[in-house]
Structure 1
Amino acid sequence: MDTRELLELYSAGKRDFFCAQLGSFNLSGANLSGADLRNADLLFANLSNVDLRGADLRGAILRGADLRGADLRGVIFNRANLYTTDFYKANLSRANLSETNLKGAFLSKTNLSGTDFRGANLSYTDLHGAHVEDARFGWNIGISEDMKLDLERRGAIFEDSLKGRSEII
């Protein structure tokens, strides 16, 4: 079965089979925008340059996946396992990464503007050169004070240290 046949299964509504097979295929450059991939096993999948805008990947396993250059605007990754995932130069603006495991993930030079990181594990996560304007952090594991100050200087918002701010967030 090639990638095109796999994508036809997805289009035909064979979601369970599609999700079970994803990890073993190279889907580089595929258009999966708006896909419902909740709880999908995408372990080590090649999803570089894929279009997943607005997709639902809640609870998905993307450990070690290649998402370099992917369009992930507005993707819901809530509670996903993104351990050691490579997002180099991906667009994750307005994505929901709350309560995700991003331990060891590579987010260097990634667009993270407006992204929700509240409750995410950011231990050993590389955020160098990432665009973090209006990205929301709070209650994160693995963020040092130095990293926190650097992210705040670059426009990130830390909700666990608002120090009496009264506006609704």
Structure 2
Amino acid sequence: MKKTTQTTRMNGQRVRIVTTTGPAGTRVQVTEAEPKEWELQAAQVRALRAMPEYGKRFLLAGDQNSAKRGPRAQMEAIAAGMTPGEADMRIYIAGGQLRMIENKVGRGRLSPAQVDRHAALARLGFTVEVLRSVTTEDAARQAVALVRGWLAGNDNQSGQGQSRCSSTASA
């Protein structure tokens, strides 16, 4: 039995095509493709910026360190301080706290650079949360809930310096 998988666009939508060839013939199955990681992050940014606390109690900044670059652009990015493995989004919370969000689609794994970078950040006392989603809606919901929790924790700790460190995966 031979199985091939490809992701493409059909009628403007990303789809996953799985073709299975065996003794009984060929079977083609077309399903909706999982979103790209940047799409999860974009949905989170929209949802977080829509929160009434945005700009008053927290701000955000995003990165796309995994973006494909040519050799010159890669050299320029590294020279300018882009760091492999950096979290996708930084959340700046009133009182001088920094929290970070790393996104993964479904069961996507952290790259070796991400594992190393997140561990280095943890040693310095910074929080990196890994959120796993297969829809943009779920990614946005998880990010809003996470930030609301951080803000509530900040209210309870008011002014206690750096935040606790953890790295978790939400289902």
Structure with higher helix content: 2
TM-score calculated relative to the size of structure 2: 0.24
Quick one: higher RCO (CA 8 Å, sep 6+), 1 or 2? Answer: 2
Structure with higher strand content: 2
